[in-house]
Structure 1
Amino acid sequence: MSIRGNLYYRIIVGGLFLSLVIPGRAGVADIPEGKKVFSGRCASCHSVTKDLTGPALKNVDQRHTEEWIIRFVHGSQSVIKSGDAAAVQLFEKFNKTIMPDHPDLSTADIQNILAYIKDESAKLANAPVNHNVPGNPKPYTGKSSVLHQIVYLDIAGEHRPLDISNPLIIIALGGAIIILVLTLVMVVRVNDFAEKQKNRYS
């Protein structure tokens, strides 16, 4: 092999090596870069976990193809006007809010964003579920009885503590107190009437 041929060989091998070991090369997505772009471009209207101005993006890669997502990010209205069913449905669901076009984002930029979303989605899927959180108090697990069902207002048997922030609970408790007071008043009046009748005929 000539010196020139040997040099070309080394350049090709070296290039292949760098494409494999350097992050961001050869289609390897960059999650930190994706997070950075997401925070700057997407976070004002999108969250991974919940709907905002636009839909929650958790597992978005399972609902749409990468090619579809890239087209939608580059020009959402073009995809909608093409009659794409998924795009039209999203547009209708979110009150026909127009998503800004991002034609300056490269395919690699969008792939990085997707990699970040996939990573966050996986973290959420693997996160332990905490059942004992505010708004979801730990159910009573002791011996069940009619008294527990009355106190916890839970005939189904989970017996969760009353949620006093729920207006229906407040209305139910208020109604129960009013009924109790009226019942006591009626009992007292009936007893008074019975006593008067007794005195009248004695």
Structure 2
Amino acid sequence: MSRVAIIDYQMGNLRSVQKGFERVGVAAEIVADPRQIGPADKIVLPGVGAFGDAIAELRRRDFVPLIRDAVAANQPFLGICLGLQMLFDVGYEGGEHEGLGILRGKVQRFDLPHEFKVPHMGWNKGRILQPAPVLSETAQDTFFYFVHSYYVAPEDRNIVAIEADYGGPFCAAVWKDNLFATQFHPEKSQADGLKLLKNFAALPVAAAV
């Protein structure tokens, strides 16, 4: 039987994400040991903090092979905020840091006119570009909650599922096969964010597309 496993690498807003799942009737488990995550599990990679430190901690705890293998094996996978950014090739927060390389592209800081505050914090509407399964029944221009100074720039524009605007358009979510990841925080995005978590938990394990 599948379960939702939230990766604990000491840098995520773990309890907040777990409570979000609980609010939609899903028992999600926080897991600190990669050996406790099985091939039937749905995996969540949350994240709050610095890109370089987070990647280093994932490597130290031996989560990197598990994440890569799970995505390759078509296990449902959800990245949140920093958990989205680390899926890409490289991040430039406090230097240059190699990411997981699961998706092609880079993570760069907002470079905006002075009237735009960085970090970008608060509610912003998203324009749905790709009808990912986790967005079932999500209306166009739904507002989601963001807290970030960096954003992802995918090489392949076809994986952008949601686009938002802050001094210009940026990628707010990606979708590719079994993998979905958001720059916004669904666990903090009230009913629409919780609906996304519920839809993720309901994905079939064998194929999330």
Same-fold status (TM-score > 0.5): no
**Would you tell me which structure has more helix in proportion to its own residues?**
1
Instruction: State the TM bucket, normalised to the shorter chain.
Output: under 0.3
Higher strand share: 2
TM-score normalised by the chain length of structure 2? 0.19
TM-score (norm 1): 0.20
